[in-house]
Structure 1
């Protein structure tokens, strides 16, 4: 057994995969082709449900199952108006893992997931919430730093890991955000992570259905090109989104300004203004990923995008990560174990 396998044994056991390498759920990207390819290559693919209806998710799970007999998960958004129906769809298909994102899950949602036989994985933005999620029944946690692409929190992975890894020992913890090479996988494993989650490298993989122009934008970009969006009006709390800078990012600022002006004029209420802003992101992301509009669309990418220089198959990406990680572990001194706080 390799050093990496030893360090990530809990993560591999939890996922049921050869490697404790999860794929981040990316709207429009994490669908049947990419998800099945990742699982078939020994990683753990995750379907991004996003705004899918129960019928669409039902079809996507079935199509993914037809392409792989390996474990994969489904990412659900807690604020989805049909969350309970989506959980039921997962249960009907015997989905083994459900990843909940977008806020603290309700007791009813957790109970329904457990009743369906799935393992529950949740995102933990702070140590206090990590402890609460474990008490509530989470089987594993993901801590994602601000280096990640898409919707992000305000704290870097290096800080979150120091806060959370020493105090969460009951369940496996996966780390995410800015991971692009195997030496980082090795580092986090030595610090106590049970595995990692990557999105940006997989988004530009051969098996990704993302438009060729979308992938080329990744190959040309550097870390500093992946910038976080800003919030113009405190009345319109916008979760920051990290994406490559382009005219689409500027258009988002204009969209916020437009909705704030409509709010001032009484043309829309606050919930409607917030919803319009979220819908902007969904449409802009589709334009970039599916249509290849790399100027007007949203090129969501993490800061690891600078390490994505050419197209590779999923199998090559995973093998590179594992080989690099084991190489790094072979040359490093044994880690100093965290003391539980």
Structure 2
């Protein structure tokens, strides 16, 4: 007998797919989603995901090994599709028999989905449009995350609530679909589960977990923030396609505009190709995020946060966050108005 019968019933497919007690994934947050937080979430009944980000294959190798020392539960690895060593990273995941690989940041390069599946892992993808989602799922992806613009970090242009209304009726019956972006409570989690989602993904809610290695000043910035403080970055030059990033506004926000101008100028000079230009932008974000998360430079670093940051008010162990989400969801699903 489960402690959360209604929520668990709605999550059943997601739990079976992830191999977890609860179908609650942690979004991959560079510098934050590492061995300590990932293992704590998986040990707490959820599904932790290592953020590979700009790691080299050797660094990812060490991180996965260290995470396995801290948990015997399932966890995944998030790989950025534009990473120049993506196939080596896939082989590292295969070496460690990682059960799930999440591909993020763009359309998976040719052969990547097949390479992951050859290692026996399941493939989770993101898709900004319904047509692309259907194509990726037909092409071998095992599950999909739909992530709205309320999320932190790299985001698309459409809100979670609209994406859920568009995607879930079309896909949820036949495929595993997780919903992400702006989810901070179990009440919202319950709403998406009732719409057909197999589970949810949260990042901002876990960023300040007790086990998160984020600097104390980084966490304090989250505790002070209101939803409107998490702003979306602006694209300065239309010739340089950059994925918008949502973060708390600070001096680092303005510095990104300067970085775009710098990269665009180099691109115009012909010194680099577009792929290299985009990679430079990604390296900028990796460095800016490290300054905030690791060094505690909350003025000049990147404070990537979703709009649900207003719901993050204190440090809590990851297991308690998961339990609270499940309790809130169960209470919401048991309300007389829903049972009527």
Give the TM interval when normalised to the shorter protein.
over 0.9
**Residue 15 of structure 1: aligned partner:** 18
**Residue 323 of structure 2: aligned partner:** 319
CA change 1:123–1:267 in 2 (3 A) is closer
Query: If the length of structure 2 is used for normalisation, what is the TM-score?
Result: 0.95
Of the structure 1 ranges 224-233 and 108-117, higher mean CA displacement relative to structure 2 is found in: 108-117
Q: How many matched pairs?
A: 335
**Residue 284 of structure 2: aligned partner:** 280
The CA RMSD over aligned residues, in Å, is 1.5
Pairing 1:253-332 to 2, within 5 Å after superposition = 253-263=257-267, 266=269, 268-271=271-274, 272-331=276-335
Instruction: Kindly state the Cα deviation for residue 257 of structure 1 after the two structures are TM-superposed.
Output: 2.5
2:79 and 2:101 in contact (8 A); partners too: yes
User: Deviation string for 1:283-321 (max 9, x for gaps)?
Assistant: 111000000000000000000000001111101111110
CA change 1:273–1:219 in 2 (3 A) is same
**Residue 227 of structure 1: aligned partner:** 231
Unmatched tracts of structure 1, length 5 or more: 337-341
Instruction: Kindly state the Cα deviation for residue 237 of structure 1 after the two structures are TM-superposed.
Output: 1.2
1:190 and 1:335 in contact (8 A); partners too: no
Pairing 1:1-341 to 2, within 5 Å after superposition = 1=2, 2-168=5-171, 169-263=173-267, 266=269, 268-271=271-274, 272-331=276-335, 333-334=337-338
Query: If the length of structure 1 is used for normalisation, what is the TM-score?
Result: 0.95
Q: In structure 2, how many angstroms separate the alpha carbons of the residues matched to 1:219 and 1:147? A: 18
* 1:73 match: secondary structure: strand
User: Deviation string for 1:21-60 (max 9, x for gaps)?
Assistant: 0000000010000000000000000000111111111111
Instruction: Kindly state the Cα deviation for residue 267 of structure 1 after the two structures are TM-superposed.
Output: 7.2
User: Deviation string for 1:222-279 (max 9, x for gaps)?
Assistant: 0000000001111111110000000110111122233334455x27445354433322
Unmatched tracts of structure 2, length 5 or more: none
* 2:90 match: secondary structure: helix
